Amino acid sequence: MKTIFIEGLIACAVFITVASVLGMMRMKDPYQRMHYISPPASVSAILITIAIFLQQGMKPESFKAVFITLVLIGMNTVVTHAAARAFRIAETRNWRPQDGEEVPIHRPDEPVERKEAA
């Protein structure tokens, strides 16, 4: 029973990672692509860590896996924000929204629906 549970956890982790990579390939905008880093860094890492705990028990490698998961979750949030901020600064020299700029910001090649004045 424990083996089946471990296999299920590993299968879910791999599926989430593969789906995230394929989803990332599908997106055309780097800001959209960034969102796909988060599922493998958080969910997959947690699932693999649980599987390692179930297989190994309270061993040093289990706690190392916990540390890796914490680093990945913390790293992902900081690095993704830093990269998005860097892209935005490179584009506009100021990463905060400018006066009158809509948030979310549309892609340059994305068709924008214009609202007709009532």
Partner 1 sequence: MNIWEIAAEVMIFTLVPLAWTTMRGDARHRLVSFLMAGVVITLLLMLLTMAFNRMPMMDVAITLALMSFGGGIVFARFFERHLP
- Asked whether 36 and 20 are in contact (CB, 8 A), the reply is yes
**For partner 1, which stretch binds (CB under 8 A), given 20-28, 98-106, 108-116?**
20-28
**Closest approach of partner 1 to the CB of residue 11, in Å:** 7
Centroid of chain to Cα 81: 11
**Closest approach of partner 1 to the CB of residue 54, in Å:** 11
Q: Would you tell me how many other CB atoms lie within 10 Å of the CB of residue 52?
A: 22
Range 31-90, binding partner 1 (CB under 8 A): 33-34, 36-37, 40-41, 44-45, 48, 51-52, 55, 59-61, 64-65, 67-68, 71-72, 74-76, 78-80, 82-83, 85-87, 89-90
Q: How far apart are the first and last CA of the chain?
A: 64
Q: What secondary structure letter does DSSP report for 102?
A: -
Q: What secondary structure letter does DSSP report for 37?
A: G
Q: How many whole angstroms separate alpha carbon 65 and alpha carbon 29?
A: 32
| Interface residue list for partner 1 (CB under 8 A) | 6-7, 10-11, 13-14, 17-18, 20-22, 24-25, 30, 33-34, 36-37, 40-41, 44-45, 48, 51-52, 55, 59-61, 64-65, 67-68, 71-72, 74-76, 78-80, 82-83, 85-87, 89-90
